[in-house]
Structure 1
Amino acid sequence: MIKQFKQDAALVFGLLTMVIFFTIGDNWLADLSDHSVAIGLFIWLLITMLWCAFKVVRHADALAVKLGEPYGTLVLTLTVTVIEVSLIAAVMLTGNANPLLARDTMMAVVMIVMNGLVGASLLLGGLKHSEQEYQLEGTRAFLTVITPLVVIALVLPSFTTSTTEATYTTGQQMLFGLMTIVLFGVFLAMQTIQQKHYFVQPIAAQLHHQAGESSRRHLDNHGVVYHTLMLLVTITPIVLLSKKLGVIMDFGTVELQLPVALGGIIIAAIVLTPEGLAALKAARNNKLQRSINICLGSVLATIGLTVPAVLTISLFAGQPVTLGLGPTGIVLIILTLFSAALTFGGTKTSVLQGAVHLALFFMYLILIFAP
């Protein structure tokens, strides 16, 4: 009984915090003039979300062992992305719509994941294992779909002339949204049915940790349904509370005169924490393919699900959506995609590639403060 309570303590605390902040918490957030109160609420929310994130990773790891790759990481990736889309949709429909919300969110996800998380994973894995192996075909499939979708979603609208802003026309939105869904569906079919062996860790590295996985499978008495439900429930407070944390972040950026985009980046980083922790843990355990599946799968799912959802809401709700990036963002996106193609152009990675991607991530952060 005590052991079960310890395992579910994060979930109970997360749900209780969520109930409090969605009832009486609005009164606290309405007046943050007392800085000690604002700092206290910020620490409370941050600890709650990070605690839940560690538990999400535990359930995701259990699913990865029970379902095998790529199904285990796919559950985690789709869960996070669907809730992200729901959160963006909720904000768009509240009446305080920000036409740059979807663009900034997708940009943050691409830069945090493809440079921050990929760089940290390659660096951590390279420091411990020198070189790491992965499936070239599976990673190339990710980049083959990610590259055109990211460019069409975030770069091309800045160069079209059908509208005065960096947007698409109604017809272009419908066609692009449909194309995105089709490509995402084709990729999922390839990943889970036709060529799923492309997304499995190479045998040499897989055997290295086979005994450890067998031990965990034996000790875990819960089934797939249990871990799936617990993952869904535990991840909900992380994403929903991120909106409340965003209120405090917005207040802090105004008070400290920080860049407005910084708050969105911090929120995106917290929402991505479960996937980030899982990716870093996989790389450290010499399971680079699982780390790649999580990172690149997160970017693909974000573009593949967020873009159609945002464009659909824009059409039916009459909310304008600006997708095109400015010159600085375009250069960073193109450089990120080009570097990813070079990084995953062979069958092994090392510390060098990780350092390059982290350098790009730090450049992205620097340009937020000094564009």
Structure 2
Amino acid sequence: MGNTLYIIRNVLKRWTFVVPLLALATLGLAWGRQLPGVVVVLVALLLAGAVLAAVHHAEVIAHRVGEPFGSLVLAVAVTVIEVALIVSLMVSGGDQTASLARDTVFAAVMITCNGIVGLSLLTGTLRRRVAVFNAEGSGGALATVATLSTLSLALPTFTTSARGPAFSPAQLGFAAVVSLALYGLFVLTQTVRHRDYFLPVTPEGAEQAPAEHAPKPETSTAMASLGLLLTALVAVVGLAKVESPVIEAAVSSAGLPQAVVGVVIALLVLLPETIAAVRAARRDQVQISLNLALGSAMASIGLTIPAIAVASIWLEGPLLLGLGATHLVLLGLTFVVTTLTVVPGRATLLQSGVHLVLFAAFLFLAISP
């Protein structure tokens, strides 16, 4: 009995190792099947556990490689798996998924630039009254997100080469190339040429010294965390897809627009970044929070558009990318407000409230367009 309790305690202590593997195994068993109610609840619990495990392993990697590489690892890992999910759904969904990429990317931009930024600033300002970050790095990231969003989501509404809010093949190819080029240029800027622009700063504006009380994990530990991070993220996205029929049924029975399904799934997929960003803000590292938010938005566009451009070679049916009038207004207002937030390099409770109100407006208009 004593040995059994000892084993159970050890397993519970290492739940961040066990849960991703258990979630992945459950995904393999549940994929493509009709699930009873009890199993749906179990899948939801494992999904939540996989999200928390992903955040833990991302923080281990970030502590090993330092910033801004740690933020980049989580943002890119989540986005790559999310893009794979989008493409697979578009391949199997036909005309019903014509606007899936647009809806998902737009939801990611609104969630990151308003939801995650708002929560991070709220956490930071409640702790220190004023949240401090590096305006040069955050401003460059925001400019890249705004350019990618406008080229990929706004322009298709106004171009005339193809019918509807869509790009012609040549225009889609151009958008894909410039999206990859801009994202690659940003990564080079963030990690090599101007890495100091993306490091946390003190209230006086100086670069924040790394914490000395927590030694860096060993390389073997970091590599194990990298593998478990990818495992957890695959499980998060896959289990979100498994849960999507239940979400679709609930949305349909409630009489809500079908686009709400994409918003809910995007919220689930972006949970790791949200939790990691809020934790960073609690440690007075708002710059890391902004790195996660803006980096995730940028990666979502910069990787999704090239992926669907390649997939469009064999995809049948239209590919709708252009936003409607309501979403264009929200997108434009988001970038104006975020610019005013970022430029001073300091934010108060007011700025966090403005971003959270915009996020609430996005959710409300998704439910009641």
TM over 0.5, shorter chain: yes
How far off is 1:241 after superposition? 1.1
The 3 A distance-change label for structure 1 pair 112 and 41 is farther
Residue of 206, 215, 218 corresponding to 1:217:
215
SS, match of residue 343 in structure 2:
coil
The aligned residue for residue 11 of structure 2 is: 5
Contact 1:311 1:321 in 2 (8 A): no
Separation (CA, whole Å) in 2 of partners of 1:261 and 1:189:
35
The aligned residue for residue 184 of structure 1 is: 183
How far off is 1:267 after superposition? 0.9
Separation (CA, whole Å) in 2 of partners of 1:143 and 1:17:
38
- Please, which moves more after superposition, 258-267 or 102-111? 258-267
SS, match of residue 215 in structure 1:
coil
| 1:109 paired to 2:80 | no
Residue of 19, 23, 34 corresponding to 1:27:
34
| 1:311 paired to 2:309 | yes
TM-score (norm. length: structure 1): 0.91
- Please, which moves more after superposition, 2-11 or 355-364? 2-11
The aligned residue for residue 143 of structure 2 is: 144
Show CA shifts across 1:116-143 (max 9, x none). 1111110111111111211111001101
The aligned residue for residue 16 of structure 1 is: 25
Counterpart residue identity of residue 138, structure 2: T
- Between Structure 1 and Structure 2, how many residues are aligned? 358
How far off is 1:175 after superposition? 1.2
Separation (CA, whole Å) in 1 of partners of 2:18 and 2:180:
38
Alpha carbon RMSD of aligned pairs, Å?
Answer: 2.0
How far off is 1:293 after superposition? 0.5
Contact 1:56 1:274 in 2 (8 A): yes
- Please, which moves more after superposition, 286-295 or 256-265? 256-265
Separation (CA, whole Å) in 2 of partners of 1:312 and 1:16:
31
Contact 2:281 2:289 in 1 (8 A): yes
The aligned residue for residue 352 of structure 2 is: 354
Separation (CA, whole Å) in 1 of partners of 2:142 and 2:111:
16
Show CA shifts across 1:160-214 (max 9, x none). 111221011111111111111111111111111111111111155898784xx43
Which runs of structure 1 show a deviation greater than 4 angstroms over 4 or more consecutive aligned residues?
A: 1-4, 203-210, 218-222
Equivalences for residues 160-199 of structure 1 within 5 A:
160-199=159-198
The 3 A distance-change label for structure 1 pair 12 and 178 is closer
Equivalences for residues 49-68 of structure 1 within 5 A:
49-68=47-66
Counterpart residue identity of residue 346, structure 2: K
TM-score (norm. length: structure 2): 0.92
Contact 2:78 2:233 in 1 (8 A): yes
Show CA shifts across 1:283-322 (max 9, x none). 1111001101000000000010001111221134344210
SS, match of residue 319 in structure 2:
coil
Separation (CA, whole Å) in 2 of partners of 1:192 and 1:220:
22
The 3 A distance-change label for structure 1 pair 218 and 157 is closer
The aligned residue for residue 129 of structure 2 is: 130
Counterpart residue identity of residue 180, structure 1: S
Separation (CA, whole Å) in 1 of partners of 2:317 and 2:212:
51
Residue of 281, 287, 298 corresponding to 1:289:
287
The aligned residue for residue 250 of structure 1 is: 248
Separation (CA, whole Å) in 1 of partners of 2:144 and 2:186:
8
SS, match of residue 26 in structure 1:
coil
The 3 A distance-change label for structure 1 pair 126 and 252 is same
Counterpart residue identity of residue 105, structure 1: T
The 3 A distance-change label for structure 1 pair 63 and 218 is closer
Counterpart residue identity of residue 182, structure 1: A
Aligned-residue sequence identity (percent) comes to 33
Contact 2:132 2:202 in 1 (8 A): no
The aligned residue for residue 75 of structure 1 is: 73
SS, match of residue 201 in structure 1:
coil
Contact 2:63 2:217 in 1 (8 A): no
Unaligned segments of structure 2, at least 5 residues: 1-6
Equivalences for residues 79-98 of structure 1 within 5 A:
79-97=77-95, 98=97
How far off is 1:223 after superposition? 3.1
Separation (CA, whole Å) in 1 of partners of 2:238 and 2:147:
31
SS, match of residue 366 in structure 2:
helix
